[in-house]
Amino acid sequence: MQRTILITGATGFVGAAVVRRLLEAGDGVKALVRKNGDLRNLDGLKLELVYGDLRDKDSLRIAMKGCQRLYHVAAYYSLWTPDARILYECNVDGTQNILEVAKELELEKIVYTSTVGAIGIPKEGGPGNEETPVALDKIIGHYKRSKYLAEQVALRMARQGLPVVIVNPSAPIGPRDIKPTPTGKMIVDFLKGFMIAYIDTGMNLVDVDDVAAGHLLAAEKGRIGEKYILGHRNMTLKEISDLMSRISGVPAPKFKIPREAVLPFAYINQWISDYITKKPPLIPLDGVRMAKEYMHYDSTKAIKELGLPQTPIEIAMEKAIRWFKDHDYV
């Protein structure tokens, strides 16, 4: 029997990958989009577009009518914005609204897309996992704080009986990163030759198609109220730049610079963006501040309980670079 699924964030990088997985599985898909949304990632796909806004519960009720499941992938994702309030309105209040409507309409399963940014990193070093604690005042940046608060909404509603499973993607890479995301921008900047040095930091990379598969697996196998890290390989920024160099032929930076040397330029960039240009800074201050820690995570739980696939990062990076080149980002 075919299910009808509502997905938010379908036009975005991760959401578009989830849509394709759902359609391959034979589900009927309704995509919640804004009137002025960029629909390029949905071109040619057989799905129903429903117009609404996470801040408007009436529009959510109309969109969710007749659905059995919800994938809430949407988020306002930015390391800089001229008004931080929109991050909390969309990510926190919007999540509260759509989960309340899902409870009201008695959906059978909800998957909420959080982020590893809402998970702590052990003080003694090593990768974080779903149980690693983090305090709100230790989280850097409004985006991560808003996602942490939204995750707390989902956990609280799960304790109240809402059938919601939480997934925490790390840093996905792959095709259709149209914005691009901060990780995608890093790849584009490297390909353009803008990465002239590197900082001693690291992150967890994962194929965006594996993240999409993880969403469907969470709906089928995930335990209610549980969190699952959707990631793959922990790498240093030096290892990532060397990998991009091997695939693209663009020389990798040879010089490491201290994070402290970049911070003054990041603060200046932030001030210029806040008070003069009103456009995103070339050097995001929150990104530099986050770089003080290796953002490494352990996906063992998702691999064991869900069967999360682990596509080699070399393949994922090759797909990402090819897509950016084919679509004139470089």
Q: What is the pLDDT along the chain (330 residues), one digit of tens a residue?
A: 679 999 999 999 999 999 999 999 999 999 999 988 899 999 999 999 999 999 999 999 999 999 999 999 999 877 667 778 888 999 999 999 999 999 999 999 999 999 999 999 888 778 999 999 888 888 888 889 999 999 999 999 999 999 999 999 999 999 999 999 989 999 999 999 999 888 889 999 999 999 999 999 999 999 999 999 999 999 999 999 999 999 999 999 998 887 777 777 776 776 777 777 777 777 776 777 677 788 999 999 999 999 999 999 999 999 999 999 999 999
Q: How far apart are CA 37 and CA 327, in angstroms?
A: 19
Compute φ and ψ for 126, nearest 5 degrees.
90, 170
Number of Cβ atoms within 10 Å of the Cβ of 208: 28
Rg of the chain on CA atoms, in Å: 19
| pLDDT in the model for residue 310 | 98
Q: Is the peptide bond before 180 cis (omega within 30 degrees of 0)?
A: yes
| pLDDT in the model for residue 80 | 66
| pLDDT in the model for residue 213 | 98
**SS3 track for the chain:** CCCEEEEECCCCHHHHHHHHHHHHCCCEEEEEECCCCCCHHHCCCCCEEEECCCCCHHHHHHHHCCCCEEEECCCCCCCCCCCCHHHHHHHHHHHHHHHHHHHHCCCCEEEEECCHHHCCCCCCCCCECCCCCCCHHHCCCHHHHHHHHHHHHHHHHHHCCCCEEEEEECEEECCCCCCCCHHHHHHHHHHCCCCCCECCCEEEEEEHHHHHHHHHHHHHHCCCCCEEEECCEEEEHHHHHHHHHHHHCCCCCCCECCHHHHHHHHHHHHHHHHHHHCCCCCCCHHHHHHCCCEECECCHHHHHHHCCCCCCHHHHHHHHHHHHHHCCCC
pLDDT per residue as tens digits for the range 92-151: 999 999 999 999 999 999 999 999 999 998 887 789 999 998 888 888 888 899 999 999
Cβ contacts of 26 within 8 Å, gap of 6 or more: 2
| pLDDT in the model for residue 294 | 87
State the pTM of this model.
Answer: 0.93
| pLDDT in the model for residue 132 | 94
| pLDDT in the model for residue 279 | 78
CATH of domain 4-178+205-234+296-311: 3.40.50.720
| pLDDT in the model for residue 1 | 61
Based on the number of CB atoms within 10 Å of its own CB, is 289 exposed (0-12), middle (13-18) or buried (19 or more)?
middle
Q: Which of 48, 5, 51 is nearest to 26 (CA)?
A: 5
